[in-house]
Amino acid sequence: MFCIHKCLPCGLRNQVLQRRSLSVYTSVYRMNEDDIKAKLQQLRGGSIDLQKDQNGVATLMINHPERKNAFSGTMMLDLRDRVEELEHWTNGKGLILRGADNTFCSGSDLNAVKAMSNPECRLPLVSVALVQGKALGGGAEVTTACDFRLMTSGSEIRFVHKHMGLTPGWGGATRLIKLIGYRNALKLLSNAQPVDPATGLKIGLADELLTSTDGDSCLEEAENWLNQYTNGSSQVIRAIKNVVVSGRELSQDESLKNEKSIFGTLWGSPANLKALAQKIKRN
């Protein structure tokens, strides 16, 4: 094989080498992914329940009350499947993530953490974590994966990893620093102190303190709060989420290119023409 590659023109030889490398990487990744999936399927219990409403707002319920809504292995797989479903929901605009029985999430089964240490979810929807009760450890990390956090009276967010001899492993520390700054993040992680709603508002971890206390009322209040950001065309809302995320995570040049490209998809679209027609009518 070495001789064949040496005799090939340089450009073609590079292409062959790149394809072989990609093939090897894909095979190894697929084996690892299949192995992880098999391990997670053995750790059963609980579910991730999805409800999609006609108004374009979905609710994801972390449902494992007998374990204070801790993630099991099968729940992690459920979460991945639900996220993929939401990614392809073209009418979707918003997402509320909550826990069953007035508890948000107490983290994860340690065996599940060992099997899959970085469950990252990205969605084109405006997302909010509805924190009732406790969000501990991995549960605290999950709240930072949402765009916003709403807290109810008596709730708390607490990064308890230190007491378990761990650090955040699901991206929670990185996102926390972006949310509340280096100094505040270091305090929360190194002291493992609970964040109540008042403190959450003060440091910027929480976006609103809800007045409701029971589950149904809290959900309705969260839906009303989220509506201010999801009112309008799903195409436009998803595009706005896209340009904001790219501005945060991509280089400036890449973000500018993405923003220009997305603008091009909206210019002259039905949503654009409808908005222009309404403006002319009002004038």
- Reported as a single tens digit per residue, the pLDDT across 59-110 is 999 999 999 999 988 998 888 889 889 999 999 999 999 999 999 999 876 5
Question: Does the pLDDT value for residue 210 go beyond 90?
Answer: yes
pLDDT at residue 171 in the model = 85
What's the rounded mean pLDDT across residues 216-230? 95
Rounded CA-CA distance 59/146 in Å is 13
What pLDDT, on a 0 to 100 scale, did the predictor assign at position 73?
A: 86
* pLDDT for 214: 81
The residue ranking higher by pLDDT, 264 or 42, is 264
Nearest residue to 141 via CA among 165, 95, 173 = 173
Q: Give the pLDDT band (50/70/90) at residue 40.
A: confident
Residue 255 has pLDDT above 70, yes or no: yes
> What predicted TM-score, i.e. pTM, was given to this entire model?
0.82
The pLDDT of residue 26 is 41
Looking at the predicted structure, is the pLDDT value of residue 263 above 60?
yes
Mean pLDDT of 152-171: 92
Predicted local confidence at residue 121, as pLDDT: 58
Tokens of 152: 């109810």
Close Cβ partners of 104 (under 8 Å, ≥ 6 residues apart): 62, 69, 98, 129, 130, 131, 132, 133, 134, 135, 139, 143, 155
Span 108-151, pLDDT tens digits: 765 555 444 444 457 899 999 999 999 999 999 999 999 999 99
Query: What is the C-alpha to C-alpha distance for residues 157 and 155, in angstroms, rounded to an integer?
Result: 7
CA-based nearest residue to 133, from 193, 217, 69: 69
Residue 3 to residues 13, 18, 22, Cα–Cα distance (Å): 11, 17, 21
